[in-house]
Homo-oligomer: A and B are copies of this chain.
Amino acid sequence: MHTLGELARILDAELVGGDANQPVDGMGTIQSATATQMTFLANPRYRSYLEQTRAAVVLLQEDQREFCPVPALIVKDPYLSFAKASALFEVAPQAQPGIHPAAVVADSAVVAATASIGPNAVIDADAQIGEGAVVMANAVIGAGSIIGENCRIWPNVTIYHGVTVGPRTIIHANSVLGADGFGFAFNGAGWTKVHQVGGVRIGADVEIGAGTTIDRGAIDDTVIGNGAILDNQIQVAHNVIIGDHTALAGKVGIAGSSKIGSYCLLGGAVGVSGHIEICDKVQVLGMTLVSSSITKPGTYGSALPADEQRRYQKNVARFRNLDDLARRVRKLERLSD
């Protein structure tokens, strides 16, 4: 429970038309917010919703103030202010410091006094769990791995040996850090495994979604930069390097040894081939294949969008003969010269 006055102070906002003592106990959308919930208007196209909102308070820009029928908090970037305020209304349960009696912690592991180790979590030999870190139920932390201060490791996460996770990083459920990279040498009859002796280094303030896998390096480490955000079901192969503050949407796959710059945005299910580089500030649209290096900031795409089956199939058939079509056009051009 927070008051409008507290919100104004925390967000460095001007409170308009409201009582500073009025309580706010949650968040809602501009359509659904109740009289005790905060909401925001980021997109002026939703002004009609603003005019009908019943929220306790709306975060909005100065120029929308006149259209707001309820108290408003005037800010420069309503969505960013909303993000800041959202931490006040988090619904995830608080973890209790201490080691649950059903956890299994190796004698040589070092667990900070304020850390929380959940039931059936397993902390292997020589692992280190930092102050305020939370390792939730049934998660496994491998031998010698280091979990930084105030990290949160959700249930059923598996962290192998030799993985380092920076402070305040969040790893969602059932993700896997440090499994063997996919390294094999063909021996004429089959595959000889290249044992993967590198590790994984995750920066500070990273968020990793559920069901994401980040392999250990073959020799050197796989590296995720500070402040990077990774969605669910992402695959990061061995020796990939991802720059600071880069955002990867769900189902992105990055093959071995590729390097992604800082402040990049990769859309859903983008695939990046191995051994290439993407420079800083590159945006890639969803389902694109990046098969060669990108050296110039900008936006890139490759996926064809859905079409009605009949037209789709006709066009696909033509695509299979596109080279032939181009040759025929060249021939016509020669004739017309």
Q: How far is the CA of A186 from the CA of B39 in the complex (A)?
A: 18
The A interface, classified by DSSP as helix, strand, loop or mixed, is loop
Q: Are B309 and A185 in contact (CB under 8 A)?
A: no
CB within 8 Å for A172 and B179 given contacts A288-B306, A315-B323, A323-B318: yes
CA distance A308 to B292 in the complex (A): 13
A286 at the interface (CB under 8 A from B): yes
Q: Is the CB of A232 within 8 A of B215?
A: yes
Contact across chains for B320 and A292 when beta carbons are under 8 A apart: no
The 0/1 profile, CB within 8 Å of B marked 1, for residues 1-19 of chain A is 0000000000000000000
The docked-state distance in angstroms from the alpha carbon of A124 to that of B210 is 19
Q: Do A219 and B122 contact each other (CB < 8 Å), given the known contacts A83-B193, A137-B140, A227-B191? A: no
Give the interface size bracket for A toward B: 35 or more
Residues of chain A from 118 to 136 with CB closer than 8 A to chain B in the complex: 118-120, 122, 124-125, 136
Nearest residue (CB) in B for A126 is B93
Instruction: For the complex formed, measure the closest distance between the CB of A220 and the CB atoms of chain B, giving whole angstroms.
Output: 6
Residues of B within 8 A of A322 (CB): 314-315, 318-319, 322
Question: Which residues of A (290-315) have their CB < 8 Å from a CB of B?
Answer: 290-292, 294, 298-309, 311-315
